[in-house]
Amino acid sequence: MKYFWSFFIIVMITACGYKPMAHYTRDVLGKNIHVEVSIDRKDPKNSVLIKDAVNESVITKLGARLSSKAKADTELFVKIGSTSFSAILYNQKGYVTAYKATVSLSIKYITKDGRSESFSTTGEYDFPIAENDDGTTNSVISDSNRFNAIKFASLDALNEFVSKIATKGMMKK
C-alpha cells in the first residue's frame, strides 16, 4: 500500500505539469547570473548584508549560478532604496517589545540579448526585543537584531522579485 501511495503522488505531480518556480525564472533570466549591489555610502554594512541575501536568493530561489560578468546570461543590479524600523508591539507598561524592519530595493536585470526590466520591491521582517523581569525593555535595537532584520527583510523583498520573474516566465509559455 505504501508503494501505491508513493507511485500515486509521483504520477499526480508529474501528470499535472508541475514545474518549480526556478524553472520559470530560468526561462527569463538564464542559468548564470552576475550580481551587482550598489554600496550605500551612509551605511555600507547594509549593502554587504543585502549582497549576501541576493547571492543566497540567486542560488536557492532562482536555481541559478553566480558567475562573472563575461559569462553571465543576466546581470542583476540591486540598489537599496531605504531601510527603516518601526515599533509594532508594546507591553502593558508601554515599553516596545517588537519592531518591524522594512527594506525597499530597486532591482534591474539586463539579459545577454538586451532585454531589461526594473522592479521596486519591499520586504518586511518582524522581530521581538527581550523583556526584563521588571517589564522594561531595552528599546535600542542591537546590531545583531538589526543585521538579521535587514537580511530577512531583504530576502522577503527578493522573494517578491522572484515571484514577479516567475510570473513573467509562465506568461511566456
By residue range, what is the domain housing residue 86? 31-172
| pLDDT tens figures, 7-59 | 777 766 665 566 666 666 777 778 888 988 887 777 777 778 788 888 888 88
Is 1 a member of any domain?
A: no
Structure confidence at residue 119 (pLDDT) = 92
Q: How many alpha carbons fall within 13 Å on the CB side of residue 101?
A: 23
Is 128 a member of any domain?
A: yes
- First CA to last CA across the chain, in angstroms? 37
Structure confidence at residue 2 (pLDDT) = 67
> Rounded to whole angstroms, how far apart are CA atoms 94 and 157?
31
Least confident of 42-46, 114-118, 156-160: 42-46
Starting from the edge strand earliest in sequence, which strands make up the sheet with 116-128, in order? 65-66, 32-37, 74-90, 96-111, 116-128
pTM: 0.79
| pLDDT tens figures, 56-107 | 888 888 788 888 888 888 999 998 888 899 999 988 888 888 999 999 999 9
Is 65 a member of any domain?
A: yes
Structure confidence at residue 13 (pLDDT) = 66
Taking each helix axis as running N to C, give the angle between helix 44-60 and helix 143-172, from 0 to 180 degrees, rounded to the nearest 10.
Answer: 40
> Rounded to whole angstroms, how far apart are CA atoms 153 and 49?
11
Task: Give 164's pLDDT tier (boundaries 50, 70, 90).
Answer: confident
Is 40 a member of any domain?
A: yes
Q: How many domains does the chain have?
A: 1
Which three cell numbers mark 71?
559569462
CATH number at residue 111: 3.30.160.150
